[in-house]
Structure 1
Amino acid sequence: MPQDPFDWTDDAARHRADAGLVRTLRPRPATSALLDLASNDYLGLTRRPEITQAAAEAARRWGAGATGSRLVTGSTELHAELERELAEFCGFEAALVFSSGYAANLAALTALGAHGSLIVSDAGNHASIVDGCRLSRAETAVVAHADPEAVRKTLDAHPGRRALVVSDSVFSVDGDAAPLREFAEVCRSHGAALVVDDAHGLGVLGEGGRGALNAAGLAGDTGVVATLTLSKSLGSQGGAVLGPARVIDHLVNAARTFIFDTGLAPAAAGAALASLRLLRREPGLADRARAVATTLYERLAGAGQTAVRPDAAVVSVQAPSPESAVRWAADCRAAGLAVGCFRPPSVPDGISRIRLTARADLTDRQIGTALSTILATAPAG
């Protein structure tokens, strides 16, 4: 009798269970009593009435879906409007919107890091960057985290080669920021491009939330490309690549996740555009998100917890072990607080932690409740 072709998945499931690494979907209800410090809704815009209204109006006007790829029927006037305003807000010449931030990173790296070129990638980069490097067919050199000298040495070892350096602006596990100015200096001296994923910087860093590249004085630099997501500070869905117009034109013609993917749904584009305009009107949202993160860090560190000082809106708090991190997050949830939980192999440094995401709309009372819950459930040791 022929063997079942998926029997091997049972072995894989047993190995995951033995290692304590089983992932489980937990569908959330439309409304919840949980205090949310787990999502990436940094500015608290996902449920703002004007944002949800913009999504609904876009769906009514343009339809529920984009109906096709961007080069066929999936580009609407709404997409073009969003691209113009994203580029202007962030300080770049042009922008291109994708169905997700993941797709945007794959596009930038596969289209700009062609076979025969070199990609220098930070060891702490997001999985979408890792996958983009793999799919690019370029040679990839993974260098020490946030280390400009390691980047310099790698480029020195490949003189005259077409190269790009890629890094998150703010790393999603610990919330630390990359040394973007130093990276840019190294890139300029070697004729390399710099690609920065600003998923966790947009809406939180820079003037009025214009992002980490704005804060570093690199927005619009001719050797810099930014990728970002619309699903964090802008509270919607989708992604974008920003940079010189000739680079964006190249992506339109060469990026497979643009050419062959269905365009971003109009509702998501409409919501993102409304959020962007709201951020223009309320630039203090970025300051508030950072202030909440600082408060969380200072109170936790002052209470003896090993927390990482946040550079944006992510606060990481170390746990003694993977098991204690899982238990800590579960105990917080049982007490009415949602927090993130990171443990090996998802964390490259092997240190387990809970992760808190600050939100600009949290009240002082909610912050106090969150801190009390975290400290009351903290594991010993």
Structure 2
Amino acid sequence: MINFTSALYLGLHHSSRVLQPWQQLSLGVPAALAEPPGATEVAQQLAQLQGCEQGVLLPSTLHLFWDLFGMLFQQQAALFLDAETYAVVRWGVEQFRAKGGEVHIFRHHDPDALLAQIKRLSYGKRKYPVAIADGFCPACGHAAPVGEYLEIVRHFGGLLVLDDTQALGVLGEMPALHCPYGKGGGGILRWSGSSGPDIVVGSSLAKGLGVPVAVLAGSGKLIKRFKAASDTRVHGSPPSVAVIQAARHALMVNRSRGDWLRQRLAQRAAQFRNGLAAMGLNTIGGWFPVQILREIDGSEAVQAHQVLSRLGIQAVLSRPRGSNVAHLSFLITARHTAGEIDQCIDMLATVIHGSGKSANRNRKTNALTL
């Protein structure tokens, strides 16, 4: 079975054999009393990777955004949420709303809509505007207009909050035609060239870097305030020492082999898209490793998913938020071989054309040497 359901984009697994040993998984105290060994160092390295001043580790992005929006409620903020922001962020926003906080939704990736809503608020109530978005949206295949969002909130003295879970470890600085992901893996801030004390980034390492832990990165002042206000750092367990050691290992691999893995990943994603294009199929996702078929949806997607499974191909069958129409997605990782990508395309041809061969298809995999 060839698996196209894993979001471990760089293919990092972090076997126990390659991690530094630990004497105990937990200190038995919350992070508010004592940080687990290595937590502060790893958080600082992750913050620097993303272009931020300081960071703090949390067990998950749910813990992170729950506490972040709890802190912002105390500061009399008004939230402006991109309409397609990921579910976990929205759960934190709902907690903010349940407390009586003011929440506004603006059109996906539409800076003009954000500006209009903030302007309407500024005429009446004087509140601290906070714009919220995903750094990269796999559902539409585009990065958020981070620079434009930042310019707007900066004009009003506000804050930009980004969930960079998809991009961390994948995107980086200096993207180019031959290097679409850029270098370094620092995420959307590095990729867009944005920075400043009025940006805070919450990210899980569970996708690009392969570690189930989250980091909040921003200015030193904001992170200090977050630590003082955080409820989960008082009432919940911090990340385990084992997870922190895995994050340390992920950073080490990212420094030594990350750019090579990203280049391999870009080649596999391009091979997949080119193979589908030769069959007359298109995907949502562009050069990103999440590829969603455009032409096959609804009951056809369900049937295709079942047939592919019988043929040895695991794909993702999902329904976008607010839609009842099923879509078929393929998640590419750096562990996929050129042969596996070709095999997947052949099986798709079988499903679509009822034959193991598709017409006018001429793939060239000999150039995919990584």
| 1:88 match | 48
Change (3 A) 1:184 1:333: same
- Looking at structure 2, the residues matched to 295 and 374 of structure 1 have their Cα atoms a distance apart, in angstroms, of 14
Alignment of 1:1-381 (within 5 A): 34-46=1-13, 51-55=15-19, 57-58=20-21, 61-65=22-26, 67-73=28-34, 75-114=35-74, 116-137=76-97, 138-159=101-122, 160-206=126-172, 207-219=183-195, 221-282=196-257, 283-318=259-294, 320-343=296-319, 346-378=320-352
- Looking at structure 2, the residues matched to 378 and 167 of structure 1 have their Cα atoms a distance apart, in angstroms, of 36
Q: Structure 1 regions of 5+ residues with no counterpart?
A: 1-33
Residue aligned with 1:157, SS: helix
AA in 2 matched with 1:195: V
- Looking at structure 1, the residues matched to 64 and 165 of structure 2 have their Cα atoms a distance apart, in angstroms, of 11
Q: Tell me the TM-score normalised to structure 2 length.
A: 0.84
Verify the 8 A CA contact 1:202 1:228 in the aligned structure 2: yes
- Bigger drift between 112-121 and 193-202 goes to 112-121
- Looking at structure 2, the residues matched to 67 and 196 of structure 1 have their Cα atoms a distance apart, in angstroms, of 31
AA in 2 matched with 1:45: L
Residue aligned with 1:209, SS: coil
AA in 2 matched with 1:171: C
AA in 2 matched with 1:163: P
Verify the 8 A CA contact 1:101 1:230 in the aligned structure 2: no
Verify the 8 A CA contact 2:56 2:216 in the aligned structure 1: yes
Q: Tell me the TM-score normalised to structure 1 length.
A: 0.82
- Looking at structure 1, the residues matched to 248 and 255 of structure 2 have their Cα atoms a distance apart, in angstroms, of 11
Change (3 A) 1:105 1:325: farther
Residue aligned with 1:359, SS: coil
Change (3 A) 1:204 1:161: same
Number of matched residues? 337
AA in 1 matched with 2:16: T
- Looking at structure 2, the residues matched to 327 and 69 of structure 1 have their Cα atoms a distance apart, in angstroms, of 48
Change (3 A) 1:113 1:277: farther
Verify the 8 A CA contact 2:85 2:133 in the aligned structure 1: yes
AA in 2 matched with 1:255: S
Verify the 8 A CA contact 2:6 2:333 in the aligned structure 1: no
| 1:17 match | none
- Looking at structure 2, the residues matched to 227 and 287 of structure 1 have their Cα atoms a distance apart, in angstroms, of 25
Deviation at 1:212, TM superposition (A): 1.1
- Looking at structure 2, the residues matched to 203 and 189 of structure 1 have their Cα atoms a distance apart, in angstroms, of 30
Deviation at 1:347, TM superposition (A): 2.5
Q: Percent of aligned positions with the same letter in both sequences?
A: 22
- Looking at structure 1, the residues matched to 72 and 43 of structure 2 have their Cα atoms a distance apart, in angstroms, of 20
- Looking at structure 2, the residues matched to 199 and 102 of structure 1 have their Cα atoms a distance apart, in angstroms, of 12
- Looking at structure 1, the residues matched to 150 and 86 of structure 2 have their Cα atoms a distance apart, in angstroms, of 20
- Looking at structure 1, the residues matched to 325 and 147 of structure 2 have their Cα atoms a distance apart, in angstroms, of 28
Deviation at 1:144, TM superposition (A): 0.9
Deviation at 1:243, TM superposition (A): 0.2
Residue aligned with 1:312, SS: coil
Residue aligned with 2:161, SS: strand
Deviation at 1:175, TM superposition (A): 3.5
Residue aligned with 2:136, SS: coil
- Looking at structure 1, the residues matched to 316 and 220 of structure 2 have their Cα atoms a distance apart, in angstroms, of 38
- Looking at structure 1, the residues matched to 74 and 348 of structure 2 have their Cα atoms a distance apart, in angstroms, of 46
- Looking at structure 2, the residues matched to 82 and 201 of structure 1 have their Cα atoms a distance apart, in angstroms, of 18
